[in-house]
Structure 1
Amino acid sequence: MPRSKAETAALMASPDDLEAQFYEAMREGDVEHMMALWADDDEVYCVHPGGPRVVGPHAVRATFEAIFANGAVAVHAEQVRRVHTAGAAVHGVVERVEVPGDEGPQVAWVLATNVYVRTAQGWRIVAHHASPGSPRAPLEVAESPSVLH
């Protein structure tokens, strides 16, 4: 059952609450719920794995409508790394995506960055950037690599 924007907004007490709602909307395939989580700002942007950067709420909505036209996405955020300030938060996550396959569900892994800002309406998403997946779970590197790029 879709949530009203008021019901969804009440759940935005923290970036973690907002992130939980983002992934719930993905698992439900609910575009109204999803878009209630985004800031109402012309500069919001989204990059889906292997896709272009889309800018603005209407373009972001169109991408989620296209994705959800194929059904909900069985995705779960894991290995979350957080950087928070008083008015912004950046979460680096490993997304575990369950994809139907001929021999049962397969798992793909996606690396994503979610950016949140505190607005008058509570915490909202301003950016989601996801990199193409891998069939294996990404390993975390505890030490800084000697080469960055």
Structure 2
Amino acid sequence: MTDPLTTHRLFYDAVESGDVDLMASLWVDDPGTSCVHPGSVPLRGTSQVLRSWTVLMANVGYIQFFLTDVDVVTLPRGADGPDTAVVVCTENILSGEGLDAAAEGFSGGRAVCTSILVKAGGSWKFWSRHASPIAEMMLEDD
């Protein structure tokens, strides 16, 4: 995982496929890591964060993310180049329940997400992630 956007995309691959091992490989193992799911309180520490993703992935029949407005900024530090990256994107989410989501119906939503990745052992890994739902505003015609 030589660049932050590859790690970022692998995160969504892990969620979509329910790959708990891949998800675990993408996070720094540290009590200072954090994750805020939409509408939730902050989770601290890698074990709490990974537990939350394991539960989420086990309880979603189908989920797919279409990312837009992806922006990455690296923060240089030291002679070895950047060691921190901030990725902001819009998640356009399609989800469904059960094994046959197409027959049971899909639902969708949007969230804005900020992820902080750090270089750890030569690889980019998640340090923090915060997602917040985007309120869809309906404008009435006059």
TM-score if structure 1 supplies the norm length?
0.76
Residue 52 of structure 1 aligns to a residue in which SS? Answer: coil
Q: Which digits, 9 at most, give the CA deviation of each residue in 1:82-140, with x for residues without a partner?
A: 1112111001110011023888323210110011011114111001100024457xxxx
In structure 2, relative to structure 1, the CA distance for the partners of 1:107 and 1:135 (3 Å cut) is: farther
Residue 89 of structure 2 aligns to a residue in which SS? Answer: strand
Residue 76 of structure 1 aligns to a residue in which SS? Answer: strand
The reply on whether 1:30 has 2:19 as its aligned counterpart is yes
**Deviation of 1:32 (Å):** 1.4
In structure 2, relative to structure 1, the CA distance for the partners of 1:121 and 1:73 (3 Å cut) is: farther
Does the 8 Å contact 1:111/1:130 carry over to 2? yes
Question: Partners of 1:106 and 1:73 in 2: how far apart?
Answer: 10
Q: Percent identity, aligned pairs only?
A: 29
Question: Partners of 2:111 and 2:40 in 1: how far apart?
Answer: 13
Q: How many residues are paired up?
A: 125
The aligned residue for residue 64 of structure 1 is 53
Does the 8 Å contact 1:54/1:60 carry over to 2? yes
The reply on whether 1:49 has 2:38 as its aligned counterpart is yes
Amino acid corresponding to residue 62 of structure 1 in structure 2: R
Does the 8 Å contact 1:23/1:77 carry over to 2? no
Does the 8 Å contact 1:48/1:131 carry over to 2? yes
Q: What are structure 1's unaligned runs of at least 5 residues?
A: 1-11, 137-149
Q: What are structure 2's unaligned runs of at least 5 residues?
A: 76-81, 98-102, 138-142
Match of 2:66 among 59, 68, 76: 76
Question: Partners of 1:73 and 1:127 in 2: how far apart?
Answer: 22
Q: How does 1:1-149 map to 2 (within 5 A)?
A: 12-71=1-60, 72-85=62-75, 86-100=82-96, 104-134=105-135
The aligned residue for residue 7 of structure 1 is none
Question: Partners of 2:66 and 2:129 in 1: how far apart?
Answer: 15
The aligned residue for residue 6 of structure 1 is none
Q: Which digits, 9 at most, give the CA deviation of each residue in 1:16-40, with x for residues without a partner?
A: 1101100100110111111110011
Aligned-residue RMSD, C-alpha: 2.0
Flag the structure with higher strand content. Answer: 2
Question: Partners of 1:67 and 1:13 in 2: how far apart?
Answer: 27
Residue 87 of structure 1 aligns to a residue in which SS? Answer: strand
**Deviation of 1:42 (Å):** 1.2
Q: Which has the larger radius of gyration?
A: 2
The aligned residue for residue 140 of structure 1 is none
